[in-house]
Amino acid sequence: MDGSVARNASISSPWGLAYDPSSSRLYFTEATGNRVRYVNMYLGTIHNLVGTGATTLSPTGIPASEANITAPRGIDIDPANNLVYVVESGHFLIRCINLTSGIMTSFAGKLSKVFLHF
């Protein structure tokens, strides 16, 4: 639940991790939980940034709070521009969440699988 005590939170398969010292937020992905969350290090609370837990594809340009994200893995932040980038491995996309507007967009990738044959 948003705003609950981080130490008491259930976390499902944490994968990527990124810290933003300007906001004291520790962002992380939940690969099997299909969410991106953050801990407010100053308050010790946990919050959901994107993902409902569902795996259906969300379109680009919608509020992150309403979007799905499938099997998020890598994560990085651009604190100067207030952006968070997330690898959505389930749909072969790199997503960008604008922390100012709250909107999630597709930054790179397309919906196709690449198969390597050896």
Domain harbouring 59, CATH code: 2.40.10.500
Q: What is the mean pLDDT of each run of 10 residues along the chain (118 residues)?
A: 81 91 94 93 94 85 90 92 91 91 84 46
115 belongs to a structural domain: no
30 belongs to a structural domain: yes
pTM of the model: 0.85
- Please give the pLDDT value at position 115: 43
List the domain range (segments joined by +) for residue 89: 4-109
12 belongs to a structural domain: yes
- Please give the pLDDT value at position 117: 42
Q: Rounded to whole angstroms, what are the CA distances from 57 to 21, 34, 109, 118?
A: 31, 11, 13, 30
25 belongs to a structural domain: yes
Question: Domain count of the chain?
Answer: 1
116 belongs to a structural domain: no
31 belongs to a structural domain: yes
Distance in angstroms (rounded) separating the CA atoms of residues 40 and 107 = 26
Distance in angstroms (rounded) separating the CA atoms of residues 28 and 49 = 10
117 belongs to a structural domain: no
